[in-house]
Amino acid sequence: MSKKGISTTNAEDKEIKKTKLREILEFLAPIIIALVVAMILKYCVFANIQVPSGSMLNTIQENDRLIVSRLDYKFGDPERFDIAVFKNPEDEKILFVKRIIGLPGETVDIVDGTVYVTGADGKTMKLRDDFVAPENMDRYNGTFVVPEDSYFVMGDNRDNSVDSRYWTTTNFVSRDKFVGKVMFRYYPFNTAGKLE
């Protein structure tokens, strides 16, 4: 009888331990899954950035918080006028936010601050600049031939932006340095919304 009693108690103890372990696992599983999903979203799908400077005024204000889509440039190429986040060509630890102006193989001519682009077909067009506030225009002059697999970028605050016009090591952002496309501003709330 005592042997049966002991074996029953051991079996009950094992069952209690299994039940407790199962409860712990059931409690931890959603937390672990949520953490894994959050990490995948943060490092593969979206980026959350805060803009430290006024180089994109008046489109993006200093200290605005933005959501960036990492997928846009994984499955497609950057396009003209996209507002993009990329690694600074002169210090890759720093992220920049600028507008894409020149595409691979194009020639970008800037005459008294007005931007013209000549494509591989030889056709030249004046680019729109309605996103540049008149007080942020500059009188810069320069010509840049964009290499293949690279892009020419400028800040919307043309008079106060360190961008492709001024970098010393290269004037271009290579395709592999892009983090993603800015989708929308989520803070501050009074200016939140989609950016163009």
How many independent structural domains does the chain possess? 2
Domain that holds residue 14: 1-46
177 catalytically annotated: no
DSSP state of 177: G
Asked if 124 and 163 sit in the same domain, the reply is yes
DSSP state of 168: S
Q: CATH number of the domain at 132, please.
A: 2.10.109.10
Q: Read out DSSP for 40-68?
A: HIIIIIEEEEE--SSTTTTTS-TT-EEEE
- Which residues are within 8 A (CB) of 183 and not within 5 positions of it... i.e. 6 or more apart? 66, 67, 68, 69, 194, 195
Asked if 61 and 5 sit in the same domain, the reply is no
Strands (E) in 41-141, as ranges, are: 46-50, 65-69, 83-88, 91-102, 107-111, 114-118, 124-126
Asked if 78 and 5 sit in the same domain, the reply is no
Asked if 23 and 81 sit in the same domain, the reply is no
β-pair type (91-102, 83-88): antiparallel
Asked if 106 and 184 sit in the same domain, the reply is yes
Residues 45 and 164: beta-carbon distance below 8 Å: no
Q: Which of 74, 98, 126, 174 is catalytic?
A: 98
pLDDT of residue 8: 57
Asked if 38 and 63 sit in the same domain, the reply is no
pLDDT tens by residue, the chain, 196 residues: 444 545 557 777 778 877 888 888 888 888 888 888 777 767 777 889 999 999 999 999 999 999 999 999 999 999 999 999 999 999 999 999 999 999 999 999 999 999 999 998 999 999 999 999 988 888 999 999 999 999 999 999 999 999 999 999 999 999 999 999 999 999 988 777 777 7
Give the distance from CA 4 to its chain's centroid: 67
69 catalytically annotated: no
Strand order in the sheet with 114-118: 124-126, 114-118, 107-111, 142-145
pLDDT of residue 131: 94
Asked if residue 195 belongs to a domain, the reply is no
Q: Which of 2, 3, 55, 177 is catalytic?
A: 55
Residue 100 gets the label, from left (phi > 0), alpha (psi -120 to 50) or beta, of beta
